């Protein structure tokens, strides 16, 4: 039987040893989430804020129980593969990818890390998922159908320019431009409009492209989704206005920079909802079992200042439907 002195000595050893054992344990690892987009910091800021808000609402606090690894290509498309590899090598526990170009790079870089699509159109056509209901593989997220939006954008433009018959489809092959082009051509055909596709590959080619549109008898322009145009959206707006060409663009950020109007899903809302996928995956769900969701929030944005500059009157019926208006 242990006497009193031996017992006290043993107890003291336990007390002294306990902190040392605790010190020896490695700190608890918090999950790491990678976020990659080809856009600039300025264009990405409101989307990142929406994503962080979504995480916070679900109990994920950056620096406390989750770490974010943000990578921005700043419009340099050739940087996307390197940044993708960087995130995969860390490694991240979940890869959030914005835009088809980035999602493709992530898909090619890893078949095991879960990939959440934040902003993309036609994910089945791109081969990112097998179907919206049953994605399969390691990719899921939020996506919209560009074919439906093309019809809506053309109809809105026709409401503003009733005599419109000839439309230029301004496109760039990066970021799934071909898919958007086909959707717009099909929508125009249904509305009885004549279209001409004009691809612009370099920023320095934009002035000549717009000059050719005006001399060629173009009555309006549809800007199709592409990271390239997003980087140069201010220049697009200025050129369209200087040539007095009504132009419909992808999302409202273009309208803020001078485009006449836009109609599309709220990218901030889509990115906010992407946080829900991150939450489910970090809690054990598999991407293959999480259906791809479609946007529920769409925005019509109109730049009345641009309308006055190019001599176009926005019908009151269209203005009343607008969610966001730039006044003169």
Q: Map out the domains of the chain with their CATH numbers.
A: 32-145+266-289 (3.40.50.2300), 146-265+298-326 (3.40.50.2300)
Q: Residues 325, 262: contact at Cβ < 8 Å? A: no
Query: 265-281: per-residue pLDDT in tens?
Result: 999 999 999 999 999 99
Q: Give the model's pLDDT for residue 121.
A: 86
Per-residue pLDDT, averaged over 283-299, amounts to: 96
Q: Give the model's pLDDT for residue 26.
A: 52
Does position 182 have pLDDT exceeding 90, yes or no? no
- H-only helix segments in the chain: 4-24, 41-57, 80-89, 100-109, 123-126, 146-160, 177-190, 206-215, 227-231, 233-242, 252-256, 267-282, 304-310, 316-319
Computed on alpha carbons and rounded to an integer, the radius of gyration of the chain in Å comes to: 25
pLDDT tier at 31, thresholds 50, 70, 90: very high
For residue 202, cis peptide bond before it (omega within 30 degrees of 0): no
Mean per-residue pLDDT of the chain: 88
**Vertex 90, ends 141 and 55: CA angle to 5°?**
40
Q: Is the pTM of this model over 0.85?
A: no
Tokens of 30: 């918090």
Share of the chain above pLDDT 90, in %: 64
Q: Give the model's pLDDT for residue 175.
A: 59
Does position 177 have pLDDT exceeding 50, yes or no? yes
């Amino acid at each position: 039987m242990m006497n009193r002195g031996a017992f006290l000595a043993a107890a003291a050893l336990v007390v002294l040893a306990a902190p040392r054992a605790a010190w020896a344990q490695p700190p608890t690892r918090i999950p790491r989430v990678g976020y990659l987009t080809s856009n600039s910091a300025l264009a990405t800021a409101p989307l990142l804020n929406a994503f962080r808000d979504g995480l916070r609402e679900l109990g994920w606090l950056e620096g406390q129980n989750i770490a974010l690894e943000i990578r921005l290509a700043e419009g340099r498309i050739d940087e996307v593969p390197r940044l993708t590899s960087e995130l995969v090598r860390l490694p991240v526990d979940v890869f959030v990818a914005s835009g088809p170009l980035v999602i493709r790079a992530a898909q090619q870089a890893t078949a095991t890390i879960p990939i959440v699509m934040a902003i993309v159109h036609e994910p089945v056509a791109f081969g990112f998922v097998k179907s919206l209901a049953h994605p399969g593989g390691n990719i899921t997220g939020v996506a919209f159908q560009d074919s439906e939006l093309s019809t809506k954008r053309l109809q809105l433009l026709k409401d503003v320019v009733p005599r419109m018959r000839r439309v230029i489809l301004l496109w760039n092959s990066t970021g799934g431009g071909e898919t958007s082009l086909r959707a717009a051509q099909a929508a125009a055909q249904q509305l009885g409009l004549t279209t001409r596709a004009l691809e612009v590959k370099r920023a320095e080619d934009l002035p000549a492209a717009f000059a050719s549109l005006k001399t060629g008898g173009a009555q309006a322009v549809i800007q199709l989704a592409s990271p390239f145009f997003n980087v140069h959206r201010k220049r697009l707006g200025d050129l369209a206005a200087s040539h007095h060409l009504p132009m419909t663009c992808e999302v409202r950020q273009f309208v803020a920079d001078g485009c006449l109007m836009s109609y599309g899903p709220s990218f901030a809302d889509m990115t906010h909802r992407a946080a829900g996928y991150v939450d489910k995956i970090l809690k054990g769900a598999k991407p293959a079992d999480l259906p791809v969701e479609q946007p529920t929030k769409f925005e019509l944005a109109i730049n009345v200042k641009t309308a006055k500059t190019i001599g176009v009157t926005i019908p009151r019926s269209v203005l009343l439907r607008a969610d966001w208006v730039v006044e003169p």
